[in-house]
Chains A and B, each alone.
Chain A
């Protein structure tokens, strides 16, 4: 039983970072109808900047995290302005391919900055454990869950309550009408990328905590957020939270139990579990769990 609970908590921890990344994807998708394949690169840069500010520049950890989020938000907004703005009005797939190009360029930048070293982000949790309801769990997992859910909650409140959030929702609904109502749609695009960049930086920090550390190849972990957003529905923030947690837990449970109970599936089967779940769900619900079915006008 302890093993099960520990596994579920670990899954929720990693799942909440997936959710964080997923929300970044969803915010960009809602504003611009583009899947941002550059998100993994933004995430790795976030981890790098956190490490830079916290361990080398010696800033206090929370300050370093916020500074990294601001830095990556700026990079995200810059990418949008340079590469994505000219693609407005082009088919979504072409724009998505542009983000693949941006991903490749940013990834090389990250490789160049990080090199072969393994960076620590200087987090205060380390490997220490705490007892919750009599079960020993890693503090890092608790931190991941709390920080992610708080960050997503803040984004949710921002979208629901603030004027700018209203403008973002209006843009998501209909760009031209939003423009006619005086919303600066271009700025909303930039803002969406900035928010997604900040969330990615936060996720990068969380993934680099504790035993893991950040390597240049850690970027590929963020690709797990793709099945998450498809599972949850491309345009649903709620969906990406649920799907992120679901996939995180499924992955963690597979890692715990599959080698023992289903060894024929091979080593590291947990890596493909998100994709298997995604395919199974798409069979039943082609627009994910919470996605809006596309209505076509004839």
Chain B
């Protein structure tokens, strides 16, 4: 086809028919309707403006959302799109965090650190886990389904052991070490500075930084899923035998999925360690992996937007329960005696929600959103 796709789309839109696609590329575009384009832009502006109106602790909480979203997108690529269930995500997060700490952290008597710039350690924090993921992938490609889930679970336990033992890198069990120094292009991000007459504190800088990284990586992931490789992922997930018959190499596809997923996990781990501060090796355990699986499942399997929604849900839910618990009589506060502590309630609700989402809405939050969107799209008709 010699027709320039962009032009064809615009003419359709110009005649008031925004949903008329005259090319495959226009149909597959990320922002394939004007409404999506407008609202995404509006949302981005709102999110950018948010930290200027929020408390510092909420800003920092939202930063954690962005970091979880990055990790969640990574897991969604391998689990949601390529269908390879991985319980080993926490291991790659830890690997990213310690790569960052080694290259970007300061050396002390106990731990090594090179003190490099963030422009160097952040990509490295993705590349090193990606390399490890690349090395592990052929192993993982041999087994399928639940065997794979347990195999990757083994990675978490072996990783925990290594993290606990490698004192000079991780600080050792129970001690931990300081994370990488956030110095970007020679500018120390932890100092306060003035921007357009407004005080910008550390939390806001982290917020903007993580948001930028998230947007870049999310768009990259979305583009990947629209590409030849993304379709190969889906083919492997849906029917691996058929995919292989059609010439999709299982080994290469799975290896790519694991490598990219580990890259995302590494970046998320590095940013998480910077946002949280001091990290103990036991952070990177099975429950962190389950958190990320919950991000994928609650958010929506095989959607990038869903991963971001899921991350927001998983990170903000404990805070919400915390706020609401003041009004529930059977919950003990931080001091008094009650039937359940806040933490126990949070964990229980979390577990119950995983069950509820899987039973009632397997497509997750994104599925709910699609239902709402379709309802209003056709309103006042029911379809």
Contacts and interface: CB of A to CB of B under 8 A. Distances in A.
A108 interface: yes
B161 A230 contact: no
Contact of B350 (A86, A94, A104, A268): A104
A90 B351 contact: no
B154 A278 contact: yes
Interface in A93-145: 93-98, 100-105, 107-108, 111-112
B352 A105 contact: yes
B110 interface: no
A283 B150 contact: no
A230 B157 CA distance: 15
A116 to B, nearest CB: 12
Given A92-B145, A266-B164, A97 B150 contact: no
Nearest to B240: A296
A146 interface: no
A174 interface: no
B161 A298 contact: no
Given A35-B146, A286-B143, A101 B354 contact: yes
A282 B351 contact: no
A275 to B, nearest CB: 4
B49 to A, nearest CB: 36
Q: Interface size bucket, B side?
A: 35 or more
A230 B153 CA distance: 11
Given A35-B146, A86-B359, A267-B165, A278 B151 contact: yes
A93 B145 contact: yes
Given A275-B157, A276-B158, A278-B154, A97 B293 contact: yes
Interface string B123-150: 0000000000000000100111111011
Interface in A275-289: 275-276, 278-279, 282-283, 286-288
Contact of A97 (B147, B165, B286, B358): B358
Contacts of B221: none
A104 B364 CA distance: 19
A223 B156 CA distance: 12
Interface in A61-117: 83, 86-87, 90, 92-98, 100-105, 107-108, 111-112
Contact of B241 (A90, A100, A286, A298): A298
A104 B293 CA distance: 14
Interface in B360-375: 362
A294 B144 contact: yes
B331 interface: no
A87 B344 CA distance: 26
Contact of A230 (B150, B348, B355, B358): B150
Given A93-B85, A100-B290, A87 B358 contact: yes
B340 interface: yes
Interface in B323-350: 340, 344, 347-348, 350
A298 B344 contact: no
B340 A112 contact: yes
B245 A298 contact: yes
Interface string B34-72: 000000000000000000000000000000000000000
B297 interface: yes
Nearest to B355: A101
Contacts of A86: 359
18 contacts: A83-B355, A86-B359, A87-B358, A90-B358, A93-B146, A95-B358, A98-B354, A104-B347, A105-B351, A108-B340, A108-B351, A226-B150, A227-B150, A234-B146, A279-B151, A282-B142, A282-B143, A286-B147
Given A223-B153, A226-B150, 19 more contacts: A87-B358, A92-B145, A97-B293, A100-B354, A101-B352, A102-B355, A105-B355, A108-B348, A223-B286, A227-B150, A234-B146, A266-B164, A278-B154, A282-B142, A282-B143, A287-B147, A288-B147, A294-B144, A298-B241
Q: Which 3 A-B pairs have the closest CB atoms?
A: A104-B351, A266-B165, A275-B154
